[in-house]
Amino acid sequence: MSAEKKVQSKDESRLKLDINNVFAEMIGKEHGMTVEELEEAKDKALKAHQNILKAEAEGEMGFMELPYKQKEVVNELKETAEKLKDKFDNFVVLGIGGSALGNIAVQTAINDPHYNLFKEARNGYPRLFVSDNVDPEGIKALLDKLDPEKTLFNVISKSGSTAETMSQFLLARKFVADAVGEEKVGEHFIATTSKDSGYLIEIAEREGMKKFFIPDNVGGRFSVLTPVGLLSAAMTGVDIEELLEGAAYMDQICRKSDFWENPALVNGLIQYLAYKKGKVMSVMMPYSDRLRDVADWYRQLWAESLGKEVDRQGNTVNVGPTPIKALGATDQHSQAQLYMEGPFDKIITFLEVENFAEELEIPGAYKDLDGVGYLGGHSFAELINTEKWATELALNKRNRMNQTVKVPEVNEFTLGQLFYFFEFQTAVTGELLNINTFNQPGVELGKNYTYGIFGRDGYQDKKDEFDSSAEHKDDLIL
């Protein structure tokens, strides 16, 4: 393929952002924006853009480095997958939050929907299970179905002290050791962790585990394009180089300093202005089963990054739009009523797939029945997108703010674009809100209470606080 044709094909696979339905011309002056408003505010967005690029130059924007600085890691991931895929029947991710949601999103988007059920769908790769909670019934049910001798576990924790992940690791370790013996435990685990600190790197060294490292300047919710997400992708046959290629392509777009040529910059500002206008809930609604878990991933990205108590100057601000996930057309029959007639407090972002891998014709029958016969001769691809367009129009008629990210087709290249687009947009919106987008002190507080209650050294004060608060709880349990 010539370089010119390759560039053309990549450009044809570019995501497109349709923002027509955020403007007053489409949804009315009371709830819509104007181009003039964006023009007046765009200098704030451009300043945010400059701040992000400056922070990147200072090594503080690790997610922006990922498309370019992982060649050796990618080769090692591919070699590992090729070496181990025939040795194990099951690949189990032990992780939570950013160490699980991206893995699930990649698997759902790229592989067969019934990948785990049918050998022919896996094309020689192992089954993938992501164990991302500590519900005892769920954990036991999974382990009961697995052959420990044919199972490889990927333990993901930057610190190695994540209570949920490490408790699952301790159980999985015993599960394996009881079957293969202590001396072979390390062969059944891969650790994905920090290179220079934490408990998991120490455990990995003791057990002789294979190790992959999470860059210190990349937080969990931004880590899907590190070994956190790339290892499970490689172990299930996903083209991880194309994922990163898509992210690199979107990065070049996000670097543009022309406001109207940078969709992540435009949309970061739209989300910020919408929030200021009282649209305090941000709904993501893909009309695609393959993209349903991207909405789940986005929910964490948006919530943990933008939900903050204080601004950069330490002032109490308690900001943050609430992310909501929905699925079209399914949630037209559960959530759409609220979106159409409830409070004017939402901005809805649709994900629309322009070309499905399958059209799937609807057979014709019962032509004498008006409520059924009209469907015949159309396709399911037509139907799902028509339902999206109809919902979009209905929202417009009710003056509800909405926009659409158009995905030419779902593949590794476009998925890499999606991940990077929303990560950069989140960084922009955080800058506009004048907060630290990359910390999560609220999450840490909950973790610390768990450590104290479980008796971890150094957290006795949290245990005391818990005991004190629990003294009066029985009074109001009905």
Catalytic residue numbers, as ranges:
304, 333, 447
Taking the C-alpha atoms of 343, 347, 350 and 351 in order, what is their torsion angle to the nearest 10 degrees?
-140
The owner of tokens 């199972």 is: 151
C-alpha–C-alpha distance, residues 182 and 177, integer Å: 5
Q: What gap in Å lies between CA 411 and CA 426, rounded to an integer?
A: 23
Q: d(Cα 207, Cα 399) in Å, to the nearest integer? A: 60
Distances (CA, A) of 315 to 60, 271, 444: 23, 22, 20
Q: Are 160 and 203 in contact (CB under 8 A)?
A: yes
Strands annotated E in 30-145: 90-94, 127-131
Residue 297 CA to residue 105 CA, distance in Å, equals 7
Beta strands 281-286 and 308-310, pairing class? unpaired
Nearest 5°: phi and psi at 365?
-170, 165
Q: Strand 402-407: give its sheet, edge to edge.
A: 16-18, 402-407, 346-353, 281-286, 322-325
Q: By CB neighbour count within 10 A (0-12 exposed, 13-18 middle, 19+ buried), where does 365 fall?
A: exposed
Opening angle at CA 68, ends 62 and 72, nearest 5:
105
Q: Is 452 helix (H, G, I), strand (E, B) or coil?
A: helix
HSE, side-chain direction, 13 A CA sphere, residue 347: 27
Classify the phi-psi angles of 46: left when phi > 0, otherwise alpha if psi is within -120 to 50, otherwise beta: alpha
What is the C-alpha separation between 236 and 24, in angstroms, rounded? 46
- Among 361, 273, 322, CA closest to 42: 273
Residue-wise DSSP of 139-194: HHHHHHHS-GGGEEEEEE-SSS--HHHHHHHHHHHHHHHHHH-GGGGGGGEEEEE-
Q: Which of 309, 253, 293, 262 has the alpha carbon at shortest distance from 436?
A: 309
- If you search the block for the tokens 């600190």, which residue do you land on? 197
